Chain A
Amino acid sequence: MGQTVPSTCDTLIIGAGMSGLAAGIRLAQYDQNVVVLDRHALWGGLNSFYKKAGRPFDVGLHALTNYVDKGVRGKPLTRILRQLRIPYDALKLGQQWVSESAFPGVKLRFSNDFQLMRSEVAEKFPSQIDGFDRLSALLADYPSLPTAGMPVFARTRLAEFLTDEKLVDLLLLPILYYGSPTPHDIEWGSFVVLWKSLYEEGFARPQGGVRTILTLLRDRYKELGGQLHMRQGVAKLLHENGKAIGVVLDSGHEIRASRILSSAGLVETMALCGEALQEKFSEEKCAGEMTFVECISLLDTPLVDLGHDKTITFFNTTERLIYEAPEAAFDSRSGVICCPDHYDNQIPQHEPALRLTLRAHPQKWFDFTDEEYAATKESAWQAGHKAILPFAPDIRDHTVFVDTFTPRTVRQFTGHTRGVVYGSPIKSPDGTTELENLFLMGTDQGFLGIVGAMLSGIAMANVHALQASPS
């Protein structure tokens, strides 16, 4: 079925996720012979979709961040659409209702209107509002792209503006859950990117969920003549004298390419490059450990009828923020509750969904027997839905179907070592690697979220494959 896998191309792209497809579109648009490969049968990578028991599910997408209205210029969302030549209206975006960061006794609500968060801070932390205003003014002037530099952590910088640690925790909770590969804190450059995409801009969801975006990307790529080959995993990356020259597929087929863009991740890409590089960027030294278990519950009753009108609730049941890989298989003391139906412009679902995301242990899930695995998934659902009761309704008697994905699922579908979601703590902002003609994009380049992933693919394609390519 489909096209034959070629033996040469201009640019070879590993991974048919958001970054790979976006990069592919850019290159196909300018007549490059471009090949996108993915080991999995479905495209989308960390943001994909599937059906179970006849019911459609999304993976990854809680929200599309970086929401701006149509016509707003110079923001990540409008820049990627222009670069990909996809009309704004094609995304069919609906804005979030309202979200919150919630600790025992104190909540900070926020929406796509930044003033809501500001007024919440002014009301609940009056002594901090001047510092908050200085902070938000500083961040508003930062560029939206990740920058290289000394690794400074967000808590250190935030202490220059905010003295109340509870407020710092409230502001950090959504940001850490949205993209920190490190426990309890996040590197400052990533913090800035996420502050802008979550708080200055905001959340939206395409009508139809992640499928809508992925279908647009795939169709656009194919219409431009790009080749997409699914079920074609890369077994080995070929290089000579420090230069990447091609790949060998699982099938043994060899493809030579002038350059390779990999969205597989730092550790995962280097593992394809032979012993020396595999050792230098080994799992032990470089892999992240933040991964998650997510229970998607389908309900017999809309959540609004149970008294819940939030879009996303980032919750923490203890006084201080907990964000770390747990000792046990999962930890229900903090997490994310997402109601994908709580966006404007959504088609009412016969079975409304609630998604509960908890931190997971990066190894234990792989060691379980099938019985232990199934039992732990069940206990994550039970314990999680009990833990969120201070923040969300009890849905346990309203649940008609549950599907749970774990680090094991993430590894199976993305190839990420340990099933990690936010990649390695070591990022490559310019995409370069130890090998010439091999570049990283996606999560380990340092861009986050769906819009970030697409921007990463575009930026890496522009810099390393268009600007640099000879005529």
Chain B
Amino acid sequence: MTKEDIVLAIKDIIATIAPDEELDGLNNTDLLRDQIELDSMDFLDIVMELRKRYSVVVPEDSYGELATLDSCANYLEPFMAEKELKIGV
């Protein structure tokens, strides 16, 4: 997966866990929690979905790396480069 793919993967996870949020206008640089309604329970779900879909384990002290779409892509790239994008699972 490229960084662009990782952003798509994260957006697809958010679409699953927060189906009522409008994701089209999301930008890559602002904090996700400032753009849409995501609380700590939702961030846990992003982490759990990454584990379920891509077998990527994000340790608790690294949850902060998931703050923006760009930081997600940067942090996850080493773990996800070899994986295939899964959409709509």
Q: Do A and B come from one complex?
A: yes
Binding site for B on A (CB under 8 A): 29-31, 71, 73-74, 79, 82-83, 85, 458-459, 462, 466-467, 471
Given A462-B44, A466-B44, A467-B60, A74:B39 Cβ within 8 A = yes
How far does the alpha carbon of A471 sit from the alpha carbon of B58 in the complex, in Å?
A: 10
How far in angstroms is the closest Cβ of chain B from A77? Answer: 13
Task: Tell me which residues across on chain A come within 8 A of B51, comparing CB atoms.
Answer: 30, 471
Q: B residues within 8 Å of A by Cβ?
A: 17-18, 20, 37, 39, 41-42, 44-45, 48, 51-52, 57, 60
Q: Do the beta carbons of A466 and B37 come within 8 Å of each other?
A: no
Partner of B18, one of A30, A31, A82, A471: A82
**Neighbouring B residues of A29 by C-beta, 8 Å:** 48
A73-B44 in contact (CB<8A): no
| B41/A458 in contact, CB under 8 A | yes
- Secondary structure of the B contact surface, majority rule: helix
Q: Is the CB of A30 within 8 A of B39?
A: no
Interface centre among B42, B44, B52, B57 (most CB of A within 10 A): B44
Q: If A74-B39, A79-B41, A466-B44 touch, does A471 touch B57 (CB 8 Å cutoff)? A: yes
Which 7 A-B pairs give the minimum distances between C-beta atoms? A73-B37, A471-B57, A30-B48, A462-B44, A83-B41, A74-B37, A30-B52
Q: CA–CA, A240 to B17, complex, Å? A: 38
Q: Is B20 a contact of A462 with CB atoms below 8 Å?
A: no
Most central of B17, B41, B42, B57 by chain A CB within 10 Å: B41
Contact B52 A462 (CB under 8 A): no
In the assembled complex, the CB of B22 is this many whole angstroms from the nearest CB of chain A, namely 11
Q: List 10 A-B contacts (CB under 8 A).
A: A71-B20, A74-B39, A79-B39, A82-B17, A82-B42, A83-B45, A459-B41, A462-B41, A467-B44, A471-B57
Given contacts A74-B39, A79-B41, A467-B44, 7 further A-B contacts (CB under 8 A): A29-B48, A30-B51, A73-B37, A74-B37, A79-B39, A467-B60, A471-B51
Alpha-carbon separation in the docked complex, A30 to B20 (Å): 21
Complex Cα spacing A471 to B37, Å = 28
Interfacial chain A residues near B45, Cβ < 8 Å: 83
